[in-house]
Amino acid sequence: MNTQDQSPGKPRRSLISQWNHLKEQLTAYLFLLPSILIIGIFGLFPIGYAIYMSLFNWRVTKGGFLGFDNYDKIVGDWGGLLLFLLGVALLVAAYWLWTSAFRSSSRGVVVAKVIAAILLVAVGFLLAGGWGRLMAGGDKKFWTSMMITLFYAIGTVPTQIILAMVLAYLLFQNIRGKDVFRMIYFLPYITPVVSTAVVFRSIFSPRETALANTVLSWFGAGPLKWLFEPRPFSQILFGWNIEGFWAGPSLALVTIILFGVWTFVGYNTVIFLAGLGSISKEIYEAAEIDGANAWGVFRNVTVPLLSPVTFYLFLVSFIGTFKAFNHIFVMEVPSAQGTVATASVEIFSIFYRANNYGYAAAQAIVLFLVILGLTFAQNKLLGKKVFYG
The contact set with another protein (CB under 8 A) reads: 40, 44-45, 47-49, 51-53, 59-63, 201-202, 205-207, 209, 228, 230, 333-338, 349, 352-356
In the bound complex, what is the minimum distance in angstroms from residue 326's beta carbon to another protein? 14
Closer to another protein by Cβ: residue 171 or 197: 197
Strand ranges, E, within 14-81: none
Q: What is the 3-state secondary structure (H, E, C) of 146-166?
A: HHHHHHHHHHHHHHHHHHHHH
In the bound complex, what is the minimum distance in angstroms from residue 355's beta carbon to another protein? 6
**Alpha carbons 12 and 130: distance in angstroms, whole number:** 67
**Alpha carbons 201 and 210: distance in angstroms, whole number:** 10
Closer to another protein by Cβ: residue 38 or 111: 38
Are 88 and 120 in contact by the 8 Å Cβ rule? The answer is no
**Alpha carbons 383 and 307: distance in angstroms, whole number:** 9
Closer to another protein by Cβ: residue 281 or 353: 353
Q: To 5 degrees, how large is the angle CA 289–CA 290–CA 292?
A: 100
Closer to another protein by Cβ: residue 51 or 93: 51
**Alpha carbons 345 and 325: distance in angstroms, whole number:** 6
The residues facing 327 across adjacent strands are none
In the bound complex, what is the minimum distance in angstroms from residue 368's beta carbon to another protein? 13
In the bound complex, what is the minimum distance in angstroms from residue 61's beta carbon to another protein? 5
In the bound complex, what is the minimum distance in angstroms from residue 246's beta carbon to another protein? 22
CA nearest 229: which of 213, 252, 204?
A: 252
Closer to another protein by Cβ: residue 35 or 61: 61
Closer to another protein by Cβ: residue 349 or 363: 349
In the bound complex, what is the minimum distance in angstroms from residue 339's beta carbon to another protein? 10
Closer to another protein by Cβ: residue 113 or 201: 201
In the bound complex, what is the minimum distance in angstroms from residue 207's beta carbon to another protein? 6
210-249 per-residue burial string, b: 16 or more CB within 10 A, e: under 16: bebbeebeeeeeebbbbbbbbebbbbeeeeeeeeeeeebb
